[in-house]
Amino acid sequence: MIELDAEPSSELQTETSAVVTGTSAEGDDLRYSTKVHADESPGSWALVILLVVATLGALLGRSLILSAPDAARFTPANRAALGLWAGLIGVLCGYGLAAFVVMTRWSWQVLKIFRPRIPLWSAARWLLAIFFTLIAVWLVTGTIPAGSVNGRPVHPFLHQIYGLTIAGAVAAIPGLIGFLALRSLARNDSQWKEQPRCQILMAVRLRRYLRRLLGTFGPFLTLFVVATATRRQLILAFYKDAAYPSNYAVLIGLIFAAVLALYHVSATMAINWRCERLLDEYAPIPSPRADNISTPLSRRQDLAALLGANSSWQQNFQNGIFVLAPLLTALIGTALPK
């Protein structure tokens, strides 16, 4: 699910317009914060350009497989398996390229929130975390032989797979940076020295970007798992005596789900922590001995709903599906009859 930048809700538009029209010294501070909260609506050609990018990526990925030297070794008897895998690689490349574009845009919008600039130590920690994440994934998956014939590993389309893996890692970097930047923004107290209204709008905006990144990054990793499972069918169709453990796709799905869960949960916990601090500051829990306890409790509940601090079970279920989608896809593929 790739979500384009949508128009802000009427409530947020009202709040933002109130921020823009400030004229006093307080208004100057609010205009300074407006750059954080203003939502830029996409151009009328944004969807068309995104579809063109996805189409070009799909054609490039499919032709990359069908024009490879290993493709000439397939006969009409097993050509169908090659066509299916090439089509899935095309879908993966098309979606991956489109996801790379939108995640880069969203991550850049998140990075622009930092005032006055992105802390250098934070950026260094992000790059180190992403580097070690990619290295760990490569060490776990790259050293395990997938298919083998009589105990000897077979690697059809090896160079193409290496290229797609590198391209996939590059496409994932903007999304990982976005998760880490959201976490850093939520945890850094120096980024929240603004007017109360701007703080609330900023918390709402961070949670919105988190949902966008999750909804785009999850299907991207799922397509990788689907392509890996389909490659198993390709090898078994080409090599009659090949052995390709079905658990390999499960391992890939488990690793991708673990990585996505780690980054998403860390950002979610940081945003929830910030929202709890905002609630305690602007809608504290009243004393149980207070005469009128319903009014402050209702105020706290309304503010918590605005901040998304009390997520519904539907929202939690949706987030869980996106996070576990790579693993669930691998398990379903393993359970299907061969």
Q: How far apart are CA 246 and CA 244, in angstroms?
A: 6
Distances (CA, A) of 64 to 29, 70, 226: 53, 11, 18
The packing angle between helices 158-187 and 247-282, to 10°, is: 10
According to the 3-state scheme, what is the secondary structure of 264-300? HHHHHHHHHHHHHHHHHHHCCCCCCCCCCCHHHHHHH
What are the structure tokens assigned to 169, written together?
């890692």
Structure tokens, 76: 């009409």
Digit-coded pLDDT (tens) for 292-330:
888 888 888 889 888 887 765 566 667 777 787 777 777
pLDDT beneath 50: ranges in the chain = 3, 6-38, 337
Question: What pTM was estimated for this model as a whole?
Answer: 0.82
Judge contact between 12 and 204, C-beta under 8 A: yes
User: What pLDDT does 290 receive?
Assistant: 80
Peptide bond into 42 cis (omega under 30): no
CA 88 to chain centre: 20
| Whether 202 contacts 113, CB under 8 Å | yes
For residue 1, what pLDDT is reported?
A: 53
CA distances from 323 to 227, 290, 299, 326 (A): 18, 43, 32, 7
pLDDT of 81 reads 85
Residue 279, number of CB atoms within 10 A of its CB: 18
At residue 139, the pLDDT reads 87
Q: Can you give the pLDDT at residue 2?
A: 53
- How far apart CA 126 and CA 133 sit, in angstroms, is 11
Give me 7's structure tokens. 């128009």
Domain ranges of the chain: 10-335
**What tokens does 137 get?**
């994934």
How far apart, in whole angstroms, are the C-alpha atoms of residue 122 and residue 145?
37
SS3 (DSSP) at 107: helix
Q: Tokens representing 257?
A: 């789900």
Question: How far is 174 from 64, CA to CA, in rounded Å?
Answer: 24
For 140, which DSSP code? H
Residue 8, amino acid: P
